[in-house]
Amino acid sequence: MLKAYAREYHLDDRLSWQAIFGQKPVTSTDVLASEDRYVAEFLRQNGLTFAAAAPLDSPVLPGYPGAVQVYRSAEQGEFTAEELRKLASAAEQVDSLISKSRDARRTAADEAAQTLTPLPTGRLFIFDSQGKQSLYTDFETLDSHLRELMGEESRARLNRANGQLITGDRVQLPDSRGDLWTFRAVTYSRNPGLGDGPFVVFCMQPTCAEWATVRPQDVQADAEMARLIPSLKFMRTEFHRGPTLGEIAKQVHLSPFHFHRRFADLLGLTPKHYLLECQITQAKHELLSRRKELAQIATDCGFAHQSHFTSRFKQATGLTPTRWRSLADETKRR
């Protein structure tokens, strides 16, 4: 079922999205018609008739919502209101356990090296064909300039969709202070799970510190994703010496070509981008600690020299290291 879902039916999963949008449990009877593809093919072909879903705040990474689904055959009958209440309670307990476990795996360095502006609670933003952001996330708390650029970008992407079902790439947008925010932007010309018409989804790129908290068992429903987790751990540990693509791919027993392709497809960025994220995260931590000169930070973080460090840091953040540190200090004083 999981393989079929991922490859064919995830775009038709209105059940999960309605649970996420409404922040309450729903049943397939409530939100899906009997002729909908999700019911007619996905459920019935697996001998099932009824389904229910409850929202999860952050099942894998903080800020990226999900849902838990349960299924029943025709003989087992429809879900009752009391059973939906129990499902909601169970989902809340799952959220709490996941959050506590994830927090326990974070380090002090990971906590220190964040963006200048606190990250929003929700990291996923969905724009409809009218340019309206429709997910419940705290979109309005984002920097106003960043919100404006996201709206402009979504409209531009919808205008050039050219009928392709799904297109996506990595995009960096600056806030009003010039700090760059990195997203995976995906345009759907059709996504029945979300609703009618085209949509643009902005997924804020998780930091390497956040990826470091993910274990293979956290994504075991996706065997390919689970297989890549050791490579993330390896890069997080070895980034300072610049490991080769072959070395990294060897950690997960894949050829460099296949590893690079699957990594980019599943994470929305290349291994090279991820290594740079590791370097920049550590550099931010060193900048805030003020224990080292810029030249030493450059060397310790794996950059060839100070000017190379400054260039790559500005490319990644929109700011020079000294300017970033100055703004970070201002933020702390507020």
Domain annotation covers residue 267? yes
Confidence of residue 256 (pLDDT cuts 50, 70, 90): very high
Confidence of residue 334 (pLDDT cuts 50, 70, 90): low
Shared domain for 233 and 329, answered yes or no, is yes
pLDDT at 110: 56
State mean pLDDT over 208-220: 87
- Residues written for the chain: 334
Tens-digit pLDDT profile for residues 67-96: 999 999 999 999 999 999 999 999 999 999
Shared domain for 85 and 65, answered yes or no, is yes
Shared domain for 228 and 322, answered yes or no, is yes
Confidence of residue 3 (pLDDT cuts 50, 70, 90): confident
Shared domain for 196 and 221, answered yes or no, is no
Tens-digit pLDDT profile for residues 291-319: 999 999 999 999 999 999 999 999 999 99
Q: How many other CB atoms are found less than 10 A from the CB of residue 100?
A: 9
Tokens encoding 264: 């980019």
Shared domain for 232 and 271, answered yes or no, is yes
Domain annotation covers residue 113? no
Shared domain for 92 and 135, answered yes or no, is no
Shared domain for 186 and 77, answered yes or no, is no
Arithmetic mean of pLDDT over the chain: 90
User: Residue 318: which domain range?
Assistant: 208-334
**According to the 3-state scheme, what is the secondary structure of the chain?**
CHHHHHHHHHHHCHHHHHHHHHCCCEEHHHHCCCCCHHHHHHHHHHCCCEEEEEEECCCCCCCCCEEEEEEECCCCCCCCHHHHHHHHHHHHHHHHHHHHHHHHCCCHHHHHCCCCCCCCCCCEEEECCCCCECCCCCHHHCCHHHHHHHHHHHHHHHHCCCCCCEEEEEEEEECCCCCEEEEEEEEECCCCCCCCCCEEEEEECCCHHHHCCCCHHHHCCCHHHHHHHHHHHHHHHHHHHCCCHHHHHHCCCCCHHHHHHHHHHHHCCCHHHHHHHHHHHHHHHHHHHCCCCHHHHHHHCCCCCHHHHHHHHHHHHCCCHHHHHHHHHHHHHC
Q: Report the distance separating Cα 25 and Cα 16, nearest Å.
A: 9
Tens-digit pLDDT profile for residues 92-137: 999 999 999 888 887 654 554 556 777 888 899 999 988 889 887 7
**pTM across the whole model:** 0.88
Tokens encoding 6: 């991922």
Shared domain for 323 and 215, answered yes or no, is yes
Tens-digit pLDDT profile for residues 29-59: 999 999 999 999 999 999 999 999 999 999 9
Shared domain for 136 and 177, answered yes or no, is yes
Domain of 282, CATH number, reads: 1.10.10.60
User: Which of 171, 204, 237 is the last residue in one of the domains?
Assistant: 204
Shared domain for 11 and 55, answered yes or no, is yes
Spatial contact of 171 and 185, defined as CB atoms under 8 Å apart: yes
How many domains does the chain fold into?
3
User: Which of 204, 226, 247 is the last residue in one of the domains?
Assistant: 204
Shared domain for 144 and 162, answered yes or no, is yes
Spatial contact of 303 and 279, defined as CB atoms under 8 Å apart: yes
- List the one residue out of 221, 226, 161 whose CA is nearest residue 191: 161
User: Which of 69, 104, 139 is the last residue in one of the domains?
Assistant: 104
Shared domain for 215 and 272, answered yes or no, is yes
